[in-house]
Amino acid sequence: MRQTAAVKRQLAIGGVAIGLPAVQAALSGYSDLAMRTVAREHGAPFAINEVVLDALVLQKGKLQRRILNVPEHDHPVGGQLMGSQPETFGQAARELVRAGYDTIDINFGCPVNKVLGRRRGGWLLQDPDTALAIVQSVLDAVQGDAPVTVKMRRGSDDSPVAERRFWEILDGAIERGVAAATVHPRTVAQKYVGPSRWRFLKQVRAHVGDFTLLGSGDLFSAFDVVDMLRETGVDGVTMARGCIGNPFVFAQVAALLAGDAPLRPTCAQQRAAIERHWQVALPFYGDPRRALPPVRMHVIKYGQYHPEPIWAREQLVRVRRPEDLLERVAEVFADRFDEGRDRELRREHAVAPALQDCREG
């Protein structure tokens, strides 16, 4: 029989009140201002920017301006950093806080080869001394002005030494004063192959006591979110692949936690979310031609939740010109697809992930 833990309804990270215990994860290549805005407007209580390299935060230019531009409506927002040098990591964290990021997350998880080769992201799970020096440097630089958190995989690989290092880094980070940890219980070596080991989250929960713990991995529907909260006892979850093209999942989680039936979005709701995404992306990327590629990736993901997903994808991948986007979206997400359709969300509606990558932001 499955064990269940009492689900806390209100998440907080340090002094930052979040609310719904399901937030939008950091998603390289995806969780830009447009995605965060749409997620928030559909019930995400908190959203994390895609991981950014510390050096890029410190280097003057267009990208720096984009990273450091945190509009009024984008709160609470987490900034996530990647790097290998404690000093520049700390300096970049300070800049993010100055720009208005509400929390600072340290990435000890990214499994991309290029990142590992530069001793960043998941590579740091092999090197507790440097990992903890980074944590200390960020805490010193931020000086309590924002909660500092860590994002970790469950180890670099399945060896006992990797597991020991995981605990050493987690315990060391907690001792130094991080406010929360997010654990994605796959190993770095595993990348995205095979399941996320939720039972490891239970172990972490038992180990850290009342410390704020978020879980990640294999959350492809609102049902998975509630299952993870109940089965592992984590305080909250970060939605990743399961919320790309699916901002509706946050309201579905809220409904399930309230004991109500969660609803699938109508085509009109999908259309409106995409239109809003495009509207925010245009000024963010500066011009329609630059905005199209990142927005199109999202739009194709919305297609996975269309009543006829294969057909929808075929139509959406063909959009090449910005001026065609909304017209194609209106055709694909036309009201007629909702006729006679049962709106209630069921477990079998979960979309299996196609995306298995995390690029360097």
Residues that bind ligand FMN (CB under 6 A): 25-30, 50-51, 80, 107, 109, 151, 184, 196, 216-219, 238, 240-242, 355, 357-358, 361
Least spacing, CB of residue 25 vs ligand FMN, in Å = 4
Q: Is 110 a catalytic residue?
A: yes
Place of tokens 């979960």: 350
Place of tokens 């984008």: 74
Least spacing, CB of residue 43 vs ligand FMN, in Å = 18
| Of residues 315, 355, 352, the one with CA closest to residue 333 | 315
Which residue is catalytic, options 110, 243, 267, 358?
Answer: 110
Q: Which helix (H) or strand (E) holds 197?
A: none
Least spacing, CB of residue 267 vs ligand FMN, in Å = 25
Give the separation between CA 329 and CA 299, rounded to whole angstroms: 8
Residues 151 and 107 sit within 8 Å (Cβ to Cβ):
yes
| Of residues 290, 301, 300, the one with CA closest to residue 240 | 301
Burial, 339: exposed, middle or buried (Cβ in 10 Å; 0-12, 13-18, 19+)? exposed
State the DSSP code for 343.
-
Q: CB nearer to ligand FMN: give 179 or 267.
A: 179
Least spacing, CB of residue 241 vs ligand FMN, in Å = 3
Give the separation between CA 336 and CA 266, rounded to whole angstroms: 10
List the catalytic residues: 110
